Structure 1
Amino acid sequence: LTVILIHISSLQPFGQVPALQDGDIILFESRAINRYIASKYKETGPDLLRSAGGPAEAAAVEVWLAVESQQFGPPVEELVFGAVINPRIGEATDQTAVERQAERLGRVLDVYEERLSKNKYLAGGEFTLADLNHMPYTYFLLRTPQADLVTPRPHVLAWWEDISSRPAWKKTAEVIPI
């Protein structure tokens, strides 16, 4: 995998990051890039898609990837942008929107708490792409006043402490500008 930094609009039709070029393949959207890298390198690292675990394990990963994208992603993104990003770029925080998304995210995290009371990771007993895709926004969430959405949920908190203690994440978190 070779990452070449060039003008982003030549790779990403919306002119946003991220974008990835790997030979003739051009990808944009972080979830697609993550899935591509997990698939391409599954033989040299952990099988983050659990394809070797059979259809049931792979399907569990797909379910929790969809949950991250459709249930967790929208409220946490709006909450983090409102509470962290907008103030950093000089925009006002819409506290009503932040509170509305915190309430919505709390309901999602109640489902996670139940799931994680029975499984070490979201898709079962192994760390997968479903867990990995939660890491950036959870990291930012825990740096907001709404961190109390995670901390009183013991299974969600234990899950976060586990996945965020991974050496690769620690290295990544060190360079996140916050």
Structure 2
Amino acid sequence: MDRRIDHYDVFTPLQGCVNDARSVAGVLGRHANNDINFQTPKLLLGEDQYASASRRELRSSIEALFDDDPDIALLYFAGHGLIDSAGGYLCSSDCQDGSDGVPLVDVVNFARKSKAKNKIIILDSCHGGILGNYQADTGTAEIDEGMTLLTASSEKQYSYEGGNGAPGVFTNLLVDALEGKRQAGAVQAA
């Protein structure tokens, strides 16, 4: 399931998240032999004011993803992320200040309770790395067996767009890696 948001009512609009989500969906949608990889992929795109992604839609679709019982439940989110003293949030199109977004603690809890054998969460958003240690006061991560987290940034870092609709830096590298492309200067195993 892909979630990507370019349009924000209050926050600075983004330009490449929707394209990033489509790229990730494309590369993960089929195996190299062209067999279907995910039977029921769902895209939630916040492209513009007429096709925005509300907090309610975002939260309920994440909950529904992890409420199912597949072999793999994969969540990819590209959009604004925010942290404050209470934790981290995925920001929907209708967020006013970020703390009214989807709390990352909810995302982790949905995944932890999921019957899916493998739960994968990929975040191309600022501060996404807080997901693994959302209880900063204890320093513990709430990750269970079968959970994989991949984030574009640490708790204190920003995620970067390519600009003018170009892919985000993280997603561009992710898609290239999944397609088997080599990056200049990449280390090759002997």
TM-score higher than 0.5: no
- Structure with more helix by fraction: 1
| Bigger RCO (CA 8 Å, 6+ sep) | 2
> Could you say which structure has the larger radius of gyration?
1
> What TM-score does the superposition give when structure 2 sets the normalisation length?
0.35
> What TM-score does the superposition give when structure 1 sets the normalisation length?
0.37
